[in-house]
Structure formats: structure tokens, C-alpha cells
Amino acid sequence: MDSSRVAVIFYSLGTLDLLGAFESKTTAAERESWRKWLWEQQTHGIYGTGFKPGPYMTPEGQSSESSEYDAPHLIMTYTALLSLAILRDDFSQLDRAGILAFLRACQNDDGSFSALPRGGESDLRTAYCAFVISSLLDDWSGMNVDSAITYIRSCISYEGGFGQAPFGEALGGTTYCALAALCLTPSTPSSPRESRLTPAERTRTIRWLSQNQTPSGGFRGRTNKAADACYCFWCGAALNILGAGDLVDRNALATFMSQCQFKFGGIAKAPSERADPYHTYLSLAALALLPPSDADSSWDLPKLDPLWNASEATASWARAHIPAH
């Protein structure tokens, strides 16, 4: 997990956040040291400022200066910023201008974003992270918005979902990324927000998403695949973004989630699999967004911001504390 450590941390902290367990399960001293550790992953260099996954490529005796092989990573930057908001950081150490420069270094000519300034994967996941970061900073000068939107639209598949990249098969996770990104960006003269999905495309996407809720109650990520807890969030939240969250059979969804719960705690991708932080967090996020109607209060979870994928309290904290310019 060296190369995705901050992401794993985000899913773990996010789980505590959604369970409202921060005050009871962690101490102020722990939270303080975690914030410190996360800020140590903010690194500056010729490609601007961002967060790296951890210190795994950082030589002893050196910390904040990034080298080419110890560079900031787009997905880690998104998950680090949200983790800091969960930890109620004051963001006084945030290098706004550096992060915007980093986003510009990651954007490619076709509008897509690479995970790293010089390479790495470029697909709708990295695009989504760039959009959320811009939205968190409330500053869109770190990207060419029009070309980014053109790239996102080029990933629409005939089935109604979005592939991971152009030509790709429709996939639940990247459909969420695309819809959230299109929704996060303010209108531009050449791309008013309401023009970004035609009515026919919207209908087709809703149809495909709802087709993915399987008889098990869980969602699958692709046509004819098996249900997986993480797609309950990706597809359910995508429907929610399209204003069609009420098409989900929520009680069946909750039944599936409860079957995915691992006997020693946590939630797995499917019944009788092993739990992990990623599936645990996303399952709780799905339940927070699409709670069952017939459950007792033990199922109550805080409200979720469906576009940033964080509790509303955490999202408000970020809005209030990330310094403006």
C-alpha cells in the first residue's frame, strides 16, 4: 500500500467520520499527529505542490522538496485534502498557488489529467480528482475547463455509462466520476452547465444505472457482472446526482450491504469476502446517501455531499476553512 497510502487513510478516516466515531474513538493528540503526518506529504517542486502517497520514496533527512520520483500524485492530493477536512484542520499550511500549478502540470492536451505531472494513469478517476480539488479551492484557473469537459464527454459509451477512458466499456465508478465532475464545474460561456448532458443522454444513463441494481439488491459496475458493494455507492450516487436517487430499491440495497458485512467487522465487496477500508467506506457512503426506509435508528448516518464524497459536516468545514485566495 506504499503507493496508495493516503487513499487508504482517507477511506479509514471517512469511515470514522460517517459513523460519528471521531470523538469517542480517537484522541485529540492522535488527530493532531495525523494532521502533521498528512502535511508532511505535501511536497513542493518544479511541478507545483501536491500530496504524495506517503514517504516511501522520500530519502532520510529530506521532506518537503519533491524529486522526480517522489512527486505529488493527483488522487493522493484529493484524498489528503478531504482527510484533513475530516480531521478539522485549519488549512493554514495549504499552498493554494502551488496546487493550481500542479493541476496545470497534470493536464494533458486532450483535456485529461495524468496522476503524476510526468505520466501515470490518465482517466476519469484522475479527472474527477482534479475537478474536486478545483472545487475545494473554489478556483478553476488550474485547468482548461472546456477541454476537460470535452474529454469527459468523449468517454460516454453507447450503453449510457461512461468508460474509464475514451473507447472504454461503461463502468459504474467512472460514470460517477464523470457526472460529479460535470456537475461541479460552473458554467462557462462555451459550456453552460445544463448543456453538458443532453436529455436523451440523461435518460439513457439513468436507464443503464438502474439496470445495474441486481436481484441481490447490490449494484454491479458493468452489465452482466456480479454485484459489488463499492458500486452501490458509485451507481447509487450517480443516480442521485441525476436527480433519480429514488429509483434505487433502498431496502434491497441495505439488505445486500448487511450481507457484505464481515463477521469480524468492516464491509467486503461481496458476501463471504474479506473486508477492507475502501469497500467499508463506500458502503457506508451509499447508505448515508440512500438510507433504507424500514430500518431502526442504528442505520442513521450523517448526510453526505454526493459530489465531493464526504459528509456534509466535513464538506462545510472544508468550505469554511480552506482559505480563499
Partner 1 sequence: MSAIFQDDDDDSVKLYSEDPAWADVVPIPQYQGVDALAPINYTEEYQDATNYFRGIVKTGEMSPRVLQLTEHIIRMNPAHYSAWQYRYRTLLALQSPLEDELRLMDRFAIDYLKTYQVWHHRRLLLVALHSVDAAAAELRFIVRALQDDAKNYHTWSYRQWLLAHFNDEARLWAGERAWTEELLEQDVRNNSAWHHRFFVVWGSGVRKGDEDREEVRKRELGFAKDKIALAPNNPSAWNYLRGVLDHTKTPYSTLSTFVQLYTASSAPAADVFDLDNPPPSAGAELPSVNALEFLADIHEQEGQTEQAVQVCVYVVLRYTFTKHFVAQIWKSLANEHDTMRKKYWEFRIREAMQSR
What region, left, alpha or beta, does residue 308 occupy, with left being phi > 0 and alpha being psi -120 to 50 degrees? Answer: alpha
Choose between 4 and 258: whose C-beta lies nearer to partner 1.
Answer: 4
Decide if 287 contacts 301 (C-beta within 8 A): yes
Distance separating alpha carbons of residues 78 and 73, to the nearest angstrom? 9
Kindly state the number of chain residues that form the binding site for partner 1, as judged by CB under 8 A.
Answer: 62
The reply on whether position 170 binds partner 1 by CB under 8 A is: yes
Q: How many CA atoms lie within 13 A of 130 on its CB side?
A: 33
Choose between 2 and 296: whose C-beta lies nearer to partner 1.
Answer: 2
Q: Binder to partner 1 among 147, 211, 258, 261 (CB under 8 A)?
A: 211
The reply on whether position 60 binds partner 1 by CB under 8 A is: yes
Q: Residue 312, class by beta-carbon neighbours within 10 Å (0-12 exposed, 13-18 middle, 19+ buried)?
A: middle
The reply on whether position 22 binds partner 1 by CB under 8 A is: no
CB of 190 to partner 1, least distance (A): 25
> Residues with Cβ < 8 Å from 104, sequence gap 6 or more?
48, 142, 143
Place of cell 447508505: 287
Please calculate the CA angle 315-320-325 and round it to the nearest 5 degrees.
Answer: 115
Place of cell 479527472: 127
Site string for partner 1, 259-298 (x = CB under 8 A): ----------------------------------------
Q: Please, which of residues 241-260 interact with partner 1 by CB under 8 A?
A: 244, 246-249, 252
Residue 113 is given by DSSP the state: B
Q: Binder to partner 1 among 120, 266, 271, 291 (CB under 8 A)?
A: 120
| Amino acid symbol at 314 | T
Q: Binder to partner 1 among 168, 271, 291, 292 (CB under 8 A)?
A: 168
CB of 112 to partner 1, least distance (A): 13
Residues that bind partner 1 (CB under 8 A): 1-5, 8-9, 12, 33-34, 36-38, 40, 54-63, 67, 69-70, 116, 119-121, 157-160, 164-165, 167-171, 204, 206-208, 210-211, 213-215, 217, 222-225, 244, 246-249, 252
